[in-house]
Structure 1
Amino acid sequence: MNPLSNPSTAPRYEAVDALRALAMVWMAAFHFCFDLAHFGLWPQDFRTDPVWTTQRTLILSLFLFCAGLGQAIALHQGQSMDRFARRWLQIAGCALLVSLGSFFMFPRSFIYFGVLHGMAVMLLIARFTAGWGAWLWLCGLVALALPVAATHLLTGAFSELAPAFNARTLNWLGLVGRKPFTEDYVPLFPWLGVLWWGLAAGQWALHRPGGPQLLQVRLPTALQPMAVLGRWSLSFYMVHQPVLIAVVMALAWMFKP
């Protein structure tokens, strides 16, 4: 057995942890603003305003790119299938909890394929395509382009197929003519492309001279909390919204007319 497959001996990659934490903190700030709007304290258009839609794209891109980096590191350290399966089950279980919680809060637009649902599928694909090497860069590019092509075709020459691809049974693929009405939508395409690029970038860095040392660079003391937060990303993700919603509900009660 590769000794690095033991979590107690595997070195931490603090720079990657901190980068993941940056995505989490940015996401929490975004969700706090969303909650303020939802409870009427600060009306905003989160569905069409570029200020918010662009931020969502950047946050999600950073988060999934870090997930790809994490997979590259895990494979480099000899992560066993058992450990991968345990982590995958945690993510899939949390995805189900997100669906359940969002159904009670947004019954008409509950989350049925959000970021955790997407990650559960993407991580399986990444695990079994990690051996594709440099081809992952091209695969990522194709994944990013597919939704654009699908939208063009489903609103044009192949419009008769649009109802099937727009339905919930298939729209998780991301090959849709229109986006579904849901509170969080992270389909397989194009987002698998971002995770593939993170995986490819991680493999490239880890197999070049000095690459592992670059990813393992020691952070300044002031940034150490970010590295710690990055190691608990799933727990943070599951806890932050209930806490923020409680805070905003309290604010709404305090400042109600």
Structure 2
Amino acid sequence: MSPPPLSATPSLPAQRFDRLDALRGLAIVWMAVFHFCFDLNYYGYFQPRQRFQFDPFWTVQRTCIVTLFLLCAGMGQAVAIEAGQRWSRFWRRWAQVAGCAALVSIGSAQMFPNTWISFGVLHGIAVMLVVVRLVAPRLLAQGALGSGALLGLALAALVLPRVWHDPLFDSRWTNWVGLVTRLPRAEDYVPVLPWLGVMLPGVVLGTWLLRHRRHWLAGDVPAALRPLAVLGTWSLTFYMLHQPVLIGAIQAWRFVAG
């Protein structure tokens, strides 16, 4: 059976959503700063050594960064649904995200063989994008009732991992669901549950803004924020390049400084 159409209307002319792009750019700059601190700590430049996996100063930042990423991804899907994006274009973009997720797994396995990333933020986004595309268009077409249903699904996604889990989901091949009894040893871990509960509200919020406050997403940004808006349009490329560049810069400094 073929997937349902995303929209009953033909694709609309492309429109730039500079404020949404700037918000995405802010998220990725915050992420790069966070990762640079992680890299400096890994190479011993922080004294005392920081505990990124346990210290609330770092864990809360990570949660905020991932939350901002997924909210932006959800709002981006609201924009795509409104524009009548075809499934062929959706799958092309999805393939880019999934391919980059595979590269992240391969690269992290080389650097962190014991804690490599089997299901990080890109893996999670790839799976959640498919779920959103299958569910959101039909529900959003029902108006406020459908938006409420999406928020109900989001709440269920947030609550379920807190009230039910099973050892079946503890392996690397099943922990992507999120119903684990213990967190896996991995450098990044963003399972579908509970994080789908963040992307879905992003879809609902984006849809509401497009209907009632469109200029909050598509309005011009101040000149000082233009670099963030530009960066937001290249977020996936930046994501894939920033760590090799940062780690390469640190290693070059170590070589020069002896």
> What corresponds to 1:200 in structure 2?
204
2:216 pairs, out of 197, 214, 217, with 214
Shift of 1:253: 3.1
Displacement of 1:255 = 4.2
Question: How far apart are the structure 1 equivalents of 2:173 and 2:227?
Answer: 41
Q: In structure 2, what is the equivalent of residue 143 of structure 1?
A: 157
Q: Return the alpha-carbon distance in structure 1 between the equivalents of residues 135 and 23 of structure 2.
A: 24
Structure-2 separation of matches of 1:141 and 1:248: 42
2:34 aligns with 30
- RMSD, matched Cα: 1.3
| Matched residue type, 2:245 | V
Match of 1:69 in 2: 75
SS at match of 2:176: helix
Give TM-score, length-normalised by structure 2.
Answer: 0.90
- Larger displacement relative to structure 2 (21-30 or 133-142): 133-142
Contact 1:15-1:219 at 8 Å conserved across structures: yes
Please list the CA deviations of residues 185-236 of structure 1 after superposition, one character each: whole Å capped at 9, or x if unmatched.
000011111000100111122223xx22332111111111111100000000
SS of the equivalent of 2:94 reads: helix
C-alpha distance in 2, partners of 1:3/1:178? 44
Matches within 5 A, 1:41-60: 41-42=45-46, 43-60=49-66
Q: 1:67-93, CA deviations, whole angstroms, 9 ceiling, x for partnerless residues?
A: 000000011111111110000000000
Point out where structure 1 has 5 or more consecutive residues left out of the alignment: 155-160
- Alignment check: 8 A CA contact 1:72 1:202 kept: yes
**Match status 1:190 vs 2:194:** yes
1:124 to 120, 127, 130: 130
Match of 1:165 among 165, 169, 176: 169
Equivalent pairs, count = 240
Q: Alpha-carbon deviations, 1:38-78, whole Å to 9, x = none?
A: 11111211000000000000000000000000000011111
Query: Aligned to 1:180, which of 184, 206, 222?
Result: 184
Q: Is the contact made by 1:111 and 1:184 (CA closer than 8 Å) also made in structure 2?
A: yes
Equivalent residues of 2:11, 2:86 under 8 A apart? no
| Equivalent position amino acid for 1:185 in 2 | Y
Residues 41 and 252, structure 1, Cα contact 8 Å, conserved in 2 = no
Structure 1 position 16, deviation (Å):
0.5
**TM-score, normalization: structure 1?**
0.90
Q: Distance in 2 between matches of 1:3 and 1:48?
A: 46
Of 76, 84, 89 in structure 2, the residue corresponding to residue 83 of structure 1 is: 89
SS at match of 1:172: coil
Counterparts of 1:186 and 1:3, CA distance in 2:
32
> Counterpart in 2 of 1:244?
246
For the Cα contact (< 8 Å) 1:39–1:252, is it kept in 2? Answer: no
Give the corresponding residue for 1:232. Answer: 234
Aligned-pair CA distance for 1:3: 4.7
Percent identity of equivalent pairs: 52
Q: Secondary structure at the match of 2:156?
A: helix
Task: Find the aligned partners of 2:11 and 2:108 in 1 and give their Cα distance.
Answer: 41
